[in-house]
Amino acid sequence: MDMLAWLIPVIVVVVVVAAIGIYLWATYNSLVQLNVRVDEAWSDITVQLKRRADMIPSLVETVKGYAAHERSVFENVTQARAETLNASGPAAAGVAEGHLEQALKSLFAVAEAYPQLQASQNYLQLQQAIVDTEDKIQASRRFYNGGVRELNTKIKVFPNNLFARNLGFSEREFFEVVDGANVSEPPRIQF
């Protein structure tokens, strides 16, 4: 009977420790998976932002051929493009996105004043490619923000909040365009 009296508490302690260990292991692995998913989603966004940035010089040159006197518009687009490419992290990218969207709206407004440009096949293809890329950026942003929401929630809920930061996990920033009213939809392009 003496052996059973001390064996039961030992078994209970071992089971509790094992349960806590399994919980920590499962939680850690799920946090790693969410972190990787968020990193992957951010990579998708940067790919689409780079793709769009690579199209902008061609668009500017095409419009410049018809509206060379609109120098300030072209400079604003070029500056906003550079800001987008140099943005590091979601907050800076959100600010840069707002600036680029404004600059592109100005560029498209200039282009609307030139019917010959509106009929140019090259211009129409560039417009369509940019609209397509804008849609992909929106989809990538939704995927990224969904991953960030899941990760941040997992980090904040009890009891994960007691040890998630000690394991090296921290909340991530959402990718939000700073001036959302200006970019609630892709730039309007009229054919």
Question: Is residue 189 in some structural domain?
Answer: no
Question: Is residue 139 in some structural domain?
Answer: yes
Q: Is the peptide bond before 115 cis (omega within 30 degrees of 0)?
A: no
Question: Is residue 188 in some structural domain?
Answer: no
Question: Is residue 191 in some structural domain?
Answer: no
What's the domain range around 80?
A: 2-183
Q: Tokens 């490619």, residue?
A: 129
Q: Tokens 């804008």, residue?
A: 134
Q: What is the pTM of this model?
A: 0.75
Measured CA to CA, the distance from residue 30 to residue 144 in angstroms comes to: 17
* Segment 22-62, tens digit of pLDDT: 999 999 999 999 999 999 999 999 999 999 999 999 888 88
* Segment 78-88, tens digit of pLDDT: 899 999 989 88
Give which of 86, 82, 85, 77 is closest to 59, Cα–Cα.
77
CATH number of the structural domain spanning residue 124: 1.20.1440.20
Question: Is residue 190 in some structural domain?
Answer: no
- Number of structural domains (the chain) is 1
